[in-house]
Amino acid sequence: MDDNVFKCDFLIIGGGIAGLSAAIEASHHGKVILLTKGKTGETATEYAQGGIAAAIDEQKDSPLFHMQDTIDVGAGLSDEAAVNVLVTDGVKRVHELIKMGVRFDKIGDVYELALEGAHSHRRILHAGDATGSEIERGLAARLLKENLVDVRNFIYGKDLILKKGRCIGAEAIDIDNNKNLLFLARATMLATGGLGQVYLHNTNPSFATGDGIAMAYRAGAEITDMEFVQFHPTTLFIHGVVETRFLISEAVRGEGAILENINGERFMPRYHLLKELAPRDIVSRSILEEMRRTGSDHVYLNLAPIGADKIKHRFPKIYEECLKYKIDITRDKVPVTPAAHYFMGGVKIDTNGRTNIAGLYAAGEVSSAGIHGANRLASNSLLDGLVFGYRAATDSISYSTSTEIDKAISESRLKPLKQVPSRLKYEEIKNMKEKLKTLMWEKVGIIRKGSDLKHAITELARMSKKINYMPDNKYELELKNMLTVSLLISQAALARKESRGAHYRTDFPMQDDIHWRRHQVFKKRKLFFLP
């Protein structure tokens, strides 16, 4: 076999919580290759501060309460069966994390459970304000200990390989050596994370460019709920810092911090009964309205109600980061603004992580089982990746026993690998990315309207014509993927003529359950609706 072609039983593209969870389970049943675009640990999971939601307090909480909170925030579009799987399996998976050695905060022998926006009970397990990093450490330690997974860093998934309607692997780019590689697999899973980098202001790592969604779309997978992008209300606002912004966790508000405008007035009680703990879409829009009303480019988060000692103990990472900008959160108010944070839509999956393409699975932020609906409940994202990464691996183990897969792989006549020089100069790519990100922020952001969305679609389509080929280098491929998912977001937002959850249109400001309590699904330029 060509030294650029590799075979395995399970190919996992992405190394966050979903990919690692899947890899651990699949590794006991066959050879696993896990590809990461960067180095191990560079994922959105690492950035997660607040915690992971699970109803582990059997005396005061239950999965039923967690399920109801999730559905309430989802604004009528959460799939109840999928949510039930999330909250019930979630308790089991979290206990497994604890057995692996993940160190969640305790008070004595009892886990210190936090409260976050729109949760009816304290159920957020956390490790200071670096929960994602601690979970990723625990999962990675398990992988290293068992030494059963072939982890390959700086390998960028390019396109899926299909044969007779089945996914049998993926083509990828070796970033360090600038060459193409082929990975053939009995089952392939996308765990590539989100797409926040298509927005000028965001909280995501630099590699969150929608790669998995774009790959799946090109392969003919169904893509759903593209209009639902969640903007986190409170990110650190520093003049001159434009792109990736430091997140000020929702847990800060859960512990008592309040939002004030530049005049020192608390404003959230005017907008929602839950005040600072209202759903994220409401808090984000309220902040924008206060900024407009007071002529400011930010508001303030006041942590004084929490107390200095608790702030340093509970939020050490936030405390240290703010000190870099001479902001002492134990006594200073923190300037904050909303930024793109999480994507509710993605590759459409069932509760076992299956897509509409045989042999192709997805889990985590790249996917959508309909759990989050139109708006995600705080701290459900890590749980989503953990639960559905495991379930996708379990189902792929059964799928991989089919003899039809061997036949499809053996009969494959793969195109010869070739190097294609970059057609766009680096500066041109950089400028196009900046234009795309600004366009998405200004025209397809927190508050939308039809004329802006049409303008965005026209500009994005024009930009896409410059890269209407399949690139063979990271920079062009990222740009192509960003354009693909940006067009899908814009088209879905234009088509949904109502306001629901994270999707808000000034020209259709009301929620329309008669016509729009349904999901939009894209597949190779075709748009159809699911009830």
Q: What is the mean pLDDT of residues 469-496?
A: 95
Query: Who's near 148: CB < 8 A, 6+ residues apart?
Result: 27, 28, 32
Query: Who's near 480: CB < 8 A, 6+ residues apart?
Result: 214, 464, 467, 470, 471
pLDDT at site 117? 82
* Cα four-point dihedral sign 201, 50, 379, 12: positive
Q: What is the mean pLDDT of residues 363-380?
A: 96
Q: Is the pLDDT of residue 417 over 70?
A: no
Q: What share of the chain is helix, strand, coil (3-state, %, to 5)?
A: 40, 20, 40
> What would the DSSP string read from start to end of 352-371?
TSB-SSBTEEE-GGGEE-SS
Higher pLDDT, 170 or 130: 170
Chain segment 174-201, per-residue pLDDT in tens:
998 888 899 999 999 999 999 999 999 9
Q: What is the mean pLDDT of residues 109-135?
A: 89
Residues making up the chain, counted from first to last: 531
Q: Is the pLDDT of residue 88 over 80?
A: yes
Q: Is the pLDDT of residue 1 over 70?
A: no
pLDDT at site 45? 55
Tokens for 51, please give them.
Answer: 């915690």
pLDDT at site 63? 97
pLDDT at site 510? 97
Cα separation, 85 vs 82, whole angstroms? 5
Three-state DSSP class for residue 291: helix
pLDDT at site 42? 56
Q: Is the pLDDT of residue 374 over 90?
A: yes
pLDDT at site 395? 97
Of the pLDDT bands very low, low, confident and very high (cuts 50, 70, 90), residue 361 is very high
pLDDT at site 489? 98
Cα separation, 414 vs 434, whole angstroms? 36
| Residue 280 appears among annotated catalytic residues | yes
Chain segment 146-177, per-residue pLDDT in tens:
788 999 999 999 999 999 899 999 999 999 88
Cβ(69)–Cβ(120) below 8 Å: yes
Residue in 123, 166, 253, 280 annotated catalytic: 280
Q: Is the pTM higher than 0.75?
A: yes
Q: Is the pLDDT of residue 527 over 90?
A: no
Chain segment 9-19, per-residue pLDDT in tens:
999 999 999 99
What are the structural domains of the chain? 5-228+344-410 (3.50.50.60), 234-340 (3.90.700.10), 426-530 (1.20.58.100)
Chain segment 43-73, per-residue pLDDT in tens:
555 555 668 999 999 999 999 999 999 999 9
For the chain, the average pLDDT equals: 92
**CA distances to 96, 127, 380, 428 from 90, in Å:** 10, 17, 10, 45
pLDDT at site 275? 95
> What would the DSSP string read from start to end of 36-69?
ESSSTT-SHHHH--S-EE----TTT--HHHHHHH
pLDDT at site 401? 83
Q: What is the mean pLDDT of residues 311-334?
A: 94
Tokens for 513, please give them.
Answer: 């359950």
Q: What is the mean pLDDT of residues 77-87?
A: 98
pLDDT at site 177? 87
**Which of 217-221, 343-347, 418-422 is the least confident region?**
418-422
Cα separation, 245 vs 235, whole angstroms? 6
Q: Is the pLDDT of residue 113 over 90?
A: yes
- Sequence letter at residue 509: P
